[in-house]
Amino acid sequence: MKKKTIRLYYFLVGFVALVLGASLILNAFEDGIVFFYSPTDLKFKKIDSNQKIRIGGLVKLGTLTQNNELFSFKVTDNEENIDVRFTGILPDLFREGQGVVAEGYLIKPGEFNAIEILAKHDENYMPREVADAIKASGEWRGDTESDKQ
């Protein structure tokens, strides 16, 4: 065989190995990827009911109810609201009017079943999309060093 043919075979084998490796890595990440949405995003997106997602925003004032370990409340980005149900123990920092990220499944449009609740003590740790939506509505309460820059 000529050297040119041998190099071509090495290139093809390397390319196939690279594509196979990349596809295996992407397939492994597929189950671990959880997308984040604000309540406004959910209004325009079609989400499968078996797809795990995260929603975030503020816990709307006056919407928190409790029945034993079942909690119901609304998450808002001050444009849209979504009803959230959660069974379990809420984090100590969970309050109405505070930032929250809930991970779980969309039951139907406007209703979310949370399996995990992450509460934040202020908007400093809020995802950029939600923080921008809250700033645009005039409800932003934080004034951090990163905002001043």
Rounded Cα gap, residues 34 and 45, in angstroms: 15
CA angle, 96 then 119 then 32, to 5°:
135
Q: Are residues 62 and 115 in the same domain?
A: yes
pLDDT at 125 (0 to 100): 56
Give the Å distances, CA to CA, from 35 to 42, 45, 127, 145.
11, 12, 12, 28
Question: Are 118 and 101 within 8 A, CB to CB?
Answer: yes
Residue 46 lies in a domain: no
Return the residue matching tokens 């820059």. 149
pLDDT at 148 (0 to 100): 43
pLDDT at 90 (0 to 100): 87
Question: Are 133 and 78 within 8 A, CB to CB?
Answer: yes
Residue 143 lies in a domain: no
Residue spans of the chain under pLDDT 50: 123, 145-149
Q: Which of 48, 42, 35 is nearest to 103 (CA)?
A: 35
Range of the domain at 94: 52-123
Number of separate domains in the chain: 2
pLDDT at 119 (0 to 100): 78
Rounded Cα gap, residues 23 and 26, in angstroms: 5
Q: Are residues 62 and 27 in the same domain?
A: no
pLDDT at 13 (0 to 100): 95
Residue 108 lies in a domain: yes
Residue 39 lies in a domain: no
Residue 42 lies in a domain: no
Q: Which residues contact 105 (CB under 8 A, 6 or more apart)?
A: 49, 50, 51, 52, 53, 112, 113, 115
Residue 3 lies in a domain: yes
Which CATH number fits the domain that encloses residue 119? 2.40.50.140
Residue 7: how many CB atoms within 10 A of its CB? 10
pLDDT at 122 (0 to 100): 53
Q: Are residues 99 and 59 in the same domain?
A: yes
pLDDT at 72 (0 to 100): 94
